Structure formats: C-alpha cells, structure tokens
Chain A
Amino acid sequence: MSARRIVPLALLVLALIYPVLTMESAVYQRMGALVLLAAIGASAWNIVGGYAGQVSVGHAVFFGIGAYSSVVAFVHLGLPPIAGAPLGMAISVGLAALIGVPTLRLSGHYFSMATIAVGELVRVLASTSDFLGGAQGLGGPPMPRTVLDLSFLSAMPYYYIFLVVLAGILGLTWWIERGRMGFYLRAIKDSERAARSLGVSAGRYKLYAYMLSGAFTSVAGSLYLCMFGFIDPESGFGILISVKMVVMAALGGAGQLFGPLVGALILVPLEELSNSYLGGQGAGITYVVYGAIIVIIARFLPSGLLSLFERKPVVAQPEAAKPANPASGHAD
C-alpha cells in the first residue's frame, strides 16, 4: 500500500523538479518540454480515440488549426500568438461538429479513412491559401516583443506551461472517466450496438468526445507555434502529426489516463536521441531503430506499456474475487 503511494508521489516530484535537475543541459531540459507537448496532443486524442474507441487519423486538422490560429493572430492582428488559442479551440469545436456529424456514423476503419481524407483536404486548402501563407507557411514573432509572446531562450517556462495544460487535460479526462460520460464512452467502445440498446445516445456522446478532443488538440497546436514560431501545411496538417498521436497513445495504452503520457515519455526521447546520435550519418538509421522499438512493443505488449502493470492483479486474482474489485473498469 505504501509503495503504491510513494511511487506516484516520487514521480510527481520528479516531474515538478525535472527542469531544475536538467539545468545544465538545454537539450534535456527541452526534451522534457517536448515530451509534455507531445503528451498534450496524444492525451487529447485519447479522449475520442482511446476512451470512445473512434480511431481518428486526422487529428492533425485540429493541431494545425491551433497553430495557424495563433500565427494568424500574430501576423494579421499583431497579437501575441497565444491569443489565437481560444479562436483555435472554437474553430476546432465547430469543425469537429461539422466533420463528426456525418463521419461518426461510419464504423471502424471507415471513420479512420474519413478523418484521413479531411486531414489531407485541409492540408491542401492551407497550402493554396494566401491568408495562411500558402505552401511556404507563416512565422511567429522573430524576437519576443513582450513576455506574452511566450518566446523564451530556456525551455523551463515552456515546460511548466505545458505541465499545467497537461495536468488540466488529464484532470478533465479523469473526471470524465469516472462520470456518466466515461461509462457511456467505454460502453460504446466495447459494443456500440449494445450501448444503444441500453439507451446510450451513442452518436451524441461520440460527438461530445470528438469536439472536446479537437479543442484540446488545438491547444497543443497553439503551444507548438509559441515554442517553434513557424508553421507550414506539412508541419501543421501533415499526416505524420496525426499518426504520432495515435502511436503514442497506443504505445502507452489507449483509453487509459496516463497511457499517452507514457507513450510520449518513450517515443519523444527515443526519436530525439536516435536522431541526435545516428541521424548525422544520413543513412536513415533513426527510423529503423524507432520503427523496430515500436514493432517490439506492439508485438509483446499489444495493449500498451501500461498493461504491464495491469495484467498482474488480473492474473493473480481468482475469478470469484473479481466483483470485489470495482476499480478494474478499463476495457483492455
């Protein structure tokens, strides 16, 4: 019992002091911020992709909308980029409703295919729009004008901003998970037909999850823009962005609160380190190593890394003891 409390507490403390521990290495400090940023996107995806089981492979649409809203706030209105974040969220919610109403009726692969199509469509539209800088993209403030531009030399401020945002998203997800909507979503994931027959308004709740997920993904895009200061159609709406969210959540454990964070904790450092130490040769070894590790995890832990910790009690407990443990509500 005590170990169960100490470990999460220690991890929390580590998360809080990480930037201080890595003070001497800008690269590792920044990597911490990148992990959190990726975790924000993947956790946002997790709401609809993990909990509701609607595998969107077009979430880059929302990421791009967030990033472009921020850069447009700067380029066309002269505001600090972060001021575009609420706009991005609003557009994302609206677009999620627009896409969701027709496509969430599709089941299984067809929904994924529809989201890919929308993603590519938006990417092409962005690359022909002069307002959005066309194929060349748009840049944020080259030099910070005020602190509100969120353009810092050190990664530490980004780290804490991202940590707060991630905590907010995870907190909300946790609240949903425990509430009525969480049960509805899991029921829909297990069997939509069964859920409907029990009176769950499946279409409506899938749409809620999709809109919420889109809004938070958009926040990830806005924060990305503040940190990197540049967006073009490929880095905003590219399919790789969508795929990375899916892979991260699946690797850590889709439909689990900390799954996306665990996935980001593995993938982001793996990507950064393998590129840093192997990329300079130009032989593409980075992707070979990256891909191999994903394949290994997918082969041996198909439900994600977090399933490592979940399996044991399930196996150890005799069948009769199961009802006594109400916490095992996760659909694996």
Chain B
Amino acid sequence: MYKVVRRALAAGSALIACSLAFGASAQDAVKIGVIYPLTGNAASAGNHAKMAAELAADIINNGDPELAKLMPIAKGGGLSGLKGAKIQILSADNQGTPQAGANQALRLITQEKVAALVGSYQSGITQTESAVAEKYSIPFVAPESTAADLTERGLKWFFRTTPVSVNFAQAYASFLKEQKAAGQKIDSIAIVYENTEYGTGTAAAIADLFGKEGFNVAMKLPYAANGPDVQPQVLQLKEKNPSVVIFISYTADAILYAKTMKELNWKPTILMADDAGFNDPAFVKAMGAQVEGLVSRSAFADGKPGSIAAIVDALYKKKSGGDGLDDGSARAIQGFLALADAINRAGSTDPNKIREALIATDMPSDQMVAGYNGVKYDAKGQNTLGSSLVIQMRGGKYVPVWPKAKATADIVLPYKGWSQ
C-alpha cells in the first residue's frame, strides 16, 4: 500500500514539475483570472463585465488603430513591458455565491497559475475571493464592488478602482454648489431611497456629506422598492415642496415615481437620481420622454465622437452585439485596463512586482474609458481619483453635462419633465 502511494505521489510530482517547467518558458501569455456571476441573479451584469474584460484584453493584444492614437496601451502586440506578451483571460463563474467564488479563485490561482485576479461585481463575493487571493499573495483588482468595508480589512493585495458612495456624494455636492452659484434655487433637499442596503447606505453617505457641506437636507423618505404604489411618498414631497429631490431607486420603482409625479403634477427645480433604476435601459425606454431634464450619475458617457470613451463604446457594441457600454461594463473595463497597465509597468508576472506596480499606479484622466479623474490608489487600495459624471436626460437619451471637461452638452435647468 505504502509503495503504491509513494509511487503515485512521485509520478504526480513529476508531472507537476513538468508542467511547471513548461509554464515557466519565456513570453508566454500573461494569465489573468476574471471571476464574475455568469449565472444566477446578477448573470446579466456578470456577462457584460466579462465581455468588457475580454474587450480590454483584445484591445491590448490586437490593438485598434484609432484608439492607439489616444492610448499607448492600444497599439496592439501585447504588453510592451513584457516583450509583447499577450494577455490570456481565464474566466470563471462564481454563480453569484461567495462559496463558488472562493473555490474558483483558489482554482485559478493554484491550477491555472494566474498572475492576478479581477472581479466580482457583488461585494460579498469579492470579499471571499479576495481573501483567498490575499492568502496566496496574488493581486486582486475589484472594478465594481462598492461595499465600504472591502478596503477596511487591511489586505495587502486588494485594489479597488471604482468610486464608492462617499465619492458619489462628493460629486453631487460639487455639482449642486455650481448650480447654486449659477442662480438655481437650492434651499431644501429631499432624499427618497429604497430601504435595503443600497438605498440606505447611499442615502446615509449623501446626507452625511451634505450636512457637512452646509446643505439643508429637509426630508429623508425611505420606501420599499417592491411596493405597489408610491403615491404617499409623492404626496409628501408635494406638500413639503423641496427644491431638489434625489432618488435612490431600482427600476420598477423608478418608473412608478416618474409616472406618479406626472399624475400628481409635481416637479422640483432639480430632479436627481443615483444611477441604478433611473439608468436602466428599461426606464429610459419607458419614461425617457417624460422626464426631460432629469439629472443622474454614471461612470460612463459615450462622450464626444473620437474620444476614448466613444471608440471603446463602439468596439464594445460590436462585441456584445448591440449593447453599448454602461455604468457597470465601463467600470469593469477600466478596472481591467488599470491592472494591465500595472502588469505592463511591472514588466513581469511576479505577483510581488505587480503589487508594487499597482501601488505606484498613476493613470491620468485622459487615459480613462470610465468617467474617472484617473486611477491612483491610497494605502488601503482604494482609487482616490474615482469620480462620476453627471448626466442629463435630453430628448429621451442621457448626455454628459458635468464636469465641463467631459460634457457634450450644457446643462439645462430647471427640471422640465413631461411635455404638456
């Protein structure tokens, strides 16, 4: 028995030694593990994020002549810092569960020997996957997960490119200050939010920061997103008549609010929404024409023709078969590109060198696909330059209006709403 075991072990280790020897041969592809929810509740977002990562790899490996004029990394021919090594994506499905996510992270690290991991949309899954990466000392880049505590764990190998709710609140505050200076009436603000994690978390961050910035948050109105009716909330708004309303909503409730406000004929000076439901194509299709002048947030806007955002958007449309980049996929592609940039500068697939390069990351605003001011991590691995664009509904379509540098149109206020 013992002999058999020993022989089996010897054969096994010989095999592994062989594969290691092959794996180490020069200028092989750089393997990057990409873990997203490809099945389950968030499958749509996960598959779009996976396509975004594949597009980023494609841009680096095969290049795009138009994009190459604006972005050095898009010249094609792989990573110049690694003598033209191509990027190879190994994608895995976390099935929308923290357990499958951790198991896949372990497999990609130990079996596929990936140099780094990217993922994974839902914060809870990013948590277990990055914990595995941390134990194996492999860099993990999170392009989309916004839970605040992800960067509070003291991990050495975790980096996050997406802005978090505090950054959004900051953007809203700056935006509103500018509008006030421009003469808009902004004396009281109402925050209407759905009452689960997303809504309460975001509302708290906004109310907190607005309080510090001297805004008057007169109303905080939580509601259940799956409720059948929002009349009571809109009636309350109508009674108090705040000049600014910020909605933090999912899709069905966003549509309901837009309809009910029209029915009850009430408009604030500025109607704002925090991305999510109000940016959902379903909302834009159903209500776009009825909410002329609605202001929302996005990490992405397709920008002026010929800009990086516009070119990448066109490439993504070709790849996805019609869907353009949106908030989620733009953040995914940006996170992947930020990692590729670090690997390129590291000039190696050694995890330690990649980590050092990630720490030294300083990508300027003019290299961004998403609407960030750049990518630069703080000591906790959080991108400090993550920012949002303010977009406005104009003729049934969102256009970027703020900050000015990234705007394609001037903002038009007050809120116009439905046409009479």
Does B384 lie at the interface of the complex (its beta carbon under 8 Å from any beta carbon of A)? no
In the complex, which residue of chain A has the Cβ closest to the Cβ of B197? A135
With A17-B5, A280-B90 in contact, is A229–B39 under 8 Å at CB? no
Q: Indicate whether A279 reaches chain B with its CB closer than 8 angstroms.
A: yes
CB-based contact A153/B9 at 8 Å: no
Instruction: Enumerate chain B residues within 8 angstroms of A272, measured Cβ to Cβ.
Output: 103
CA–CA, A17 and B154, complex, Å:
36
Picked from A24, A34, A135, A240, the residue with its CB within 8 Å of the CB of B12 is A24
**Secondary structure class of chain A's binding surface, majority of residues:** helix
Smallest CB-CB separation from A130: which chain B residue? B200
From A23, A228, A287, B128 is in contact (CB under 8 Å) with: A228
Q: Please state if B123 and A136 are interface contacts (CB–CB under 8 Å).
A: yes
Inter-chain contact A142/B134, CB cutoff 8 Å:
yes
Does B414 lie at the interface of the complex (its beta carbon under 8 Å from any beta carbon of A)?
no
Do the beta carbons of B135 and A153 come within 8 Å of each other? yes
Stretch in A25-33, A41-49, A199-207, A250-258 with 4+ CB within 8 Å of B: A25-33
Which residues on the B side are within 8 Å of A276 (C-beta)? 92, 104, 107
Chain B residues contacting A287 (CB-CB under 8 Å) are 39
Within 8 A of B (CB), among A7-29: 13, 17, 20-21, 23-27
Contact B5 A235 (CB under 8 A): no
Provide the bound-state CA to CA distance between A227 and B411, in Å: 52
Compute the total of residue contacts between A and B using a CB distance below 8 Å.
Answer: 116
Docked-complex contact B131 and A25, CB < 8 angstroms: no
A153 touches B196 (CB 8 A): no
A307 within 8 A of B: no
Contact with A along B1-33 (1 / 0, CB 8 A): 100010011001100100000000000000000
CA distance A240 to B95 in the complex (A): 12
Q: Is B127 an interface residue (CB 8 A)?
A: yes
Q: Assess whether A280 is in contact with B124, with CB atoms less than 8 Å apart.
A: no
A34 to B197, CA, bound (A): 30
Tell me the minimal C-beta distance from A113 to chain B in angstroms: 22
For the complex, is A78 an interface residue (Cβ under 8 Å from B)? Answer: no
A275 touches B91 (CB 8 A): no
A208 on the interface (CB 8 Å rule)? no
Residue-wise, chain A 275-303 has the 8 Å CB interface mask toward B (1 for contact) of 11001111010110000000000000000
CA distance A282 to B97 in the complex (A): 15
In the complex, chain A residues whose CB is within 8 Å of the CB of B155: 142-143
Docked CA distance A287–B195 (Å): 33
Most buried by A among B97, B124, B196, B201: B124
Per-residue CB contact flags for chain B residues 107-146 toward chain A (1 = under 8 Å, else 0) read 1001100000000000110011001001110000000000
What residues of chain B lie closer than 8 Å to A143, measured between beta carbons?
Answer: 134, 154-155
CB < 8 Å neighbour of A136 from B8, B13, B102, B147 = B147
Q: How far is the CB of A59 from chain B (nearest CB, A)?
A: 16
Q: Is A134 an interface residue (CB 8 A)?
A: yes
Which residues of chain A have C-beta atoms less than 8 A from B47's C-beta? 282
CB neighbours (8 Å) of B91 from chain A are 280, 282
A137 CB-CB contact with B under 8 Å = yes
With an 8 A cutoff between CB atoms, is B389 at the interface? no
Query: Is B123 within 8 A of A275, CB to CB?
Result: no
Query: Which of A143, A229, A231, A280: most chain B Cβ within 10 A?
Result: A280
Find residues 238-254 in chain A having any chain B CB closer than 8 Å to their own CB.
240
- Asked if A229 meets B128 with Cβ closer than 8 Å, knowing A235-B99, A280-B92, the reply is yes
Contact: B16 with A142, CB < 8 Å? Answer: no
Q: Beyond A21-B9, A27-B110, A136-B123, is A284–B39 a contact (Cβ under 8 Å)?
A: yes
CB pair A26–B110 under 8 Å, yes or no, is yes
Q: Is the CB of B106 within 8 A of A23?
A: no
Q: Contact at A228–B38, with CB atoms within 8 Å?
A: no
Pairwise interchain contact B99-A228, C-beta atoms closer than 8 A: yes
In the complex, A230 has a CB within 8 A of chain B: yes
Contacts of A24 in B (CB 8 A): 9, 12-13, 16
Nearest residue (CB) in A for B46 is: A282
B contact residues around A230 at 8 Å (CB): 98, 124, 127-128, 131
Judge whether A139 is part of the interface by a CB distance below 8 angstroms.
yes
If the complex has contacts A26-B110, A229-B131, A279-B92, are A284 and B38 also in contact, measured as CB distance less than 8 A? Answer: yes
Contacting pair A235 B104 (CB below 8 A): no
Which residue of the partner chain, among A224, A229, A286, contacts B95 with CB atoms under 8 Å? A286
- Which residue on chain A has the smallest CB distance to residue B149? A139
Q: Judge if B50 is at the interface, Cβ distance under 8 Å.
A: yes
Distance from A240 Cβ to chain B, minimum over Cβ atoms (Å): 8
**Inter-chain contacts of A192 with B (CB < 8 A):** none
| Chain B 186-216 interface residues, beta-carbon cutoff 8 Å to A | 195-198, 200-201
Query: Is A112 part of the binding interface, using a Cβ–Cβ cutoff of 8 Å?
Result: no
Task: State whether the Cβ of A103 lies closer than 8 Å to any Cβ in chain B.
Answer: no
Contact indicator A134/B197 (Cβ below 8 Å): yes
- Report whether B154 and A275 are in contact in the complex, using a CB–CB cutoff of 8 Å: no
Nearest-Cβ distance from residue A20 to partner chain B, whole angstroms: 8
**Nearest A residue to B131, CB-CB:** A229
Residue A232 lies at the interface, judged by CB distance under 8 Å to chain B: yes
Q: With A and B bound together, what is the CA distance between A286 and B39 in angstroms?
A: 9
- CB pair A142 B50 closer than 8 Å: no
A136 to B46, CA, bound (A): 18
Which A residue sits closest to B150, measured CB to CB?
A: A139
Distance between B57 CB and nearest chain A CB, rounded to angstroms:
14
A129-158 vs B: 1/0 string, CB under 8 Å?
A: 000001111010011000000000100000
> How long is the Cα–Cα vector from A55 to B166 in the complex, in angstroms?
47
| Most A C-beta atoms less than 10 A away, residue of B13, B38, B92, B127 | B127
Which B residues, 70 to 118, have Cβ-Cβ distances below 8 Å to chain A?
90-93, 95, 97-100, 102-104, 106-107, 110-111
Please name 23 pairs of A and B residues whose Cβ atoms are closer than 8 Å in the assembled complex, sorted by A.
Answer: A21-B5, A24-B9, A24-B12, A26-B106, A27-B110, A135-B197, A136-B147, A137-B127, A142-B153, A142-B155, A153-B135, A224-B99, A228-B102, A234-B124, A272-B103, A275-B104, A276-B92, A279-B38, A282-B39, A282-B43, A282-B93, A286-B39, A287-B39
Given contacts A134-B200, A228-B102, A280-B92, 12 further A-B contacts (CB under 8 A): A24-B16, A27-B110, A127-B196, A137-B124, A232-B98, A232-B124, A235-B97, A235-B98, A276-B107, A279-B39, A284-B43, A286-B93
Going nearest first, the 9 A-B pairs with the smallest beta carbon separation are: A279-B93, A282-B38, A135-B197, A142-B153, A26-B110, A280-B91, A232-B124, A284-B39, A230-B127
B residues bordering A, Cβ < 8 Å? 1, 5, 8-9, 12-13, 16, 38-39, 43, 46-47, 50, 90-93, 95, 97-100, 102-104, 106-107, 110-111, 123-124, 127-128, 131, 134-136, 147, 149, 153-155, 195-198, 200-201
